[in-house]
């Protein structure tokens, strides 16, 4: 009985008390937005990061329209990557999330959504940054 409770405890906690739910202003130059969907079930996850000049993630927010495991995965991901460099955050694997939250194999794709979302947010931030750098460089 105790085993059974602890098996779901972390998922339920993240599901009932999701961390860092909300939005960051998409237009901010230091914000990266990742929006991904799971083809397997149609669930959608939005994850946003704010990155400091030091290249470290200072703020993370998410909105997930999906199952409990997807919500728990994104909640866990926001806590995991805060304070990380982009490189470190991009290396967080869904298998780590699945293990941490004890997700069953059929729910693996829910944690994959969180991995895709952070990667997509990092990419969006880097694209914005590259554009800004290009704009700041005067033409020859």
Shortest gap between Cβ of 47 and ligand FES (angstroms)?
Answer: 13
Q: Which is nearer to ligand FES, 29 or 40 (CB)?
A: 40
Shortest gap between Cβ of 4 and ligand FES (angstroms)?
Answer: 21
Distance of alpha carbon 49 from alpha carbon 81, whole angstroms: 9
Shortest gap between Cβ of 126 and ligand FES (angstroms)?
Answer: 26
Closest CA to 64 of 45, 37, 38: 45
Identify the bridge partners of residue 102 per DSSP, sorted by sequence position. Answer: none
Pick the catalytic residue from 41, 52, 58, 65. 41
Q: Which residues bind ligand FES (CB under 6 A)?
A: 38, 40-41, 43, 66-67, 69-70, 107, 109-110, 113
Query: Hey, how many other C-beta atoms are within 10 angstroms of the C-beta on 97?
Result: 24
Handedness of CA 27, 29, 32, 36 (dihedral sign): positive
Q: Is 102 a catalytic residue?
A: no
Known catalytic residues are 41, 110
């Amino acid at each position: 009985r105790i085993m059974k409770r602890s098996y779901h405890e972390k998922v339920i906690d993240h599901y009932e008390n999701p961390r860092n739910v909300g939005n960051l202003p998409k237009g901010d130059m230091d914000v990266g937005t990742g929006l991904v969907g799971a083809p397997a079930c149609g669930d959608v996850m939005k994850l946003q990061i704010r990155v400091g000049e030091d290249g470290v993630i200072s703020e993370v927010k998410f909105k997930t329209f999906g199952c409990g495991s997807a919500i728990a995965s994104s909640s866990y991901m926001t806590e995991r990557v805060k304070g990380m460099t982009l490189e470190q955050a991009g290396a967080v694997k869904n298998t780590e999330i699945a293990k941490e939250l004890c997700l069953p194999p059929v729910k693996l794709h829910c944690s994959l959504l969180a991995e895709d979302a952070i990667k997509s947010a990092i990419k969006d931030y880097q694209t914005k940054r590259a554009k800004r750098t290009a704009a700041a460089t005067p033409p020859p």
